[in-house]
Structure 1
Amino acid sequence: MRERYASGIDDATAQKMTDLLNANLANLIDLSMDSKQCHWNLQGTGFIGVHQLLDDTYDRLTEAFDTVAERIVILGGKANGISKRVVEDSILETYPTDITEVDQHVRELTNRYKTIAASLREAIDTAGEAGDEDTADLLTEVSRTIDKDAWFIGANAPKK
């Protein structure tokens, strides 16, 4: 580990938080790429509204994973967001390439947001139990953003 800029955190905790954050970094980068896959390929009723919404949600995802990466460095670690690492470490399955309809993409992407939200909540608990409240707080803020965007995207699904 390199120099840590966060005081009061021991080496073992810093390493544990770096690993935890890198796992979430992979998930967030993967989710951002899934949102672009959706953005580029959706068609049908409601297309333009969802298409524009996904530009905004993508921007929030990139801000979130940038903040996570910066926290890793603050803790003395190395952020690992290279594509091969993301593929290996993300909990998400490969985004389906055989769907085109807005409602299909909305359901798929909303479920992915919910999966990442659940993973973030587990990470929040882990960081809190480790005594790193700053990391827990950062992950809480990311979780709020993910929850809100899941709601924004999911609100475009047809009612049953």
Structure 2
Amino acid sequence: MSERLHATQIDLPEEIRVSVIRLLNQSLATALDLKTQVKQAHWNVKGPQFFALHELFDDMAGELDGFVDDLAERVTALGGTAMGTARMAAAGSTLPEYPTDIQDGLDHVKALVERYAPFAKHVRATIAETDALGDADTADLYTGISRAVDKRLWLLEAHLQAPR
């Protein structure tokens, strides 16, 4: 990320904005990657739970789209440049690549759990980091994302916890 910031009247010191922008762009990359991985599951799911999982995965991708937009807009509000192309996301994401050799619905659910859990952990860590930097607004943004991601993780895990 370029250290050059755009002018803003937001009263956070520049060094804090630079630090927060770095965190936001890391989250943006990971959220974009997660969204495309959820769409990968959405397009390729097969099996008796196809329709329900196909719809669930589409809802999840839509929700992630909202987070992506919120994260990118917060970057620009703070005077930064949102780093949101597919190549930027691939280079900056902390998630493992999505497996392409699975089709079964529960295998897709498991793969998504394995990606949502580290994203949830990352989001929770950034709440504390942005709060410690004195940016309560960004911490609040992350808190909202955290609640939603934890709920999605719960919904996914419930599929795997059912007795067979």
Query: Do the two structures share a fold, i.e. TM-score over 0.5?
Result: yes
Deviation at 1:46, TM superposition (A): 1.1
Q: Distance in 1 between matches of 2:89 and 2:132?
A: 26
- Aligned-pair RMSD on alpha carbons? 1.1
One-letter amino acid matched to 2:66:
E
Contact 1:103–1:158 (CA<8 Å) still a contact in 2? no
Q: How does 1:2-151 map to 2 (within 5 A)?
A: 2-5=6-9, 7-151=10-154
- Mapped partners of 1:9, 1:118: distance in 2: 26
How far does the alpha carbon of each residue in 1:117-160 deviate from its partner, in whole angstroms, 9 at most, with x for none? 00011111110110101000001101111111112222222635
Aligned residues: 159
Letter in 2 for 1:59: G
User: How much has 1:45 moved relative to structure 2?
Assistant: 2.0
CA distance in 1, matches of 2:156, 2:62: 14
CA distance in 2, matches of 1:2, 1:25: 19
3-state SS of 1:106 partner: helix
Q: Say whether residues 1:154 and 2:157 are aligned partners.
A: yes
Q: What is the Cα deviation at residue 78 of structure 1?
A: 0.6
- Deviations along 1:37-82, whole A, 9 cap, x unmatched? 0001111121110111111111110001100100000100010111
Q: Which has the higher contact order (CA 8 A, sep 6+)?
A: 1
Partner amino acid, structure 2, of 1:54: F
For the 8 Å contact 1:110–1:150, the answer to whether it is kept is yes
What SS class does the counterpart of residue 160 from structure 2 fall into? coil
- SS state of the match for residue 11, structure 2? coil
State the percentage of identical aligned residues.
36
TM-score (norm 1): 0.95
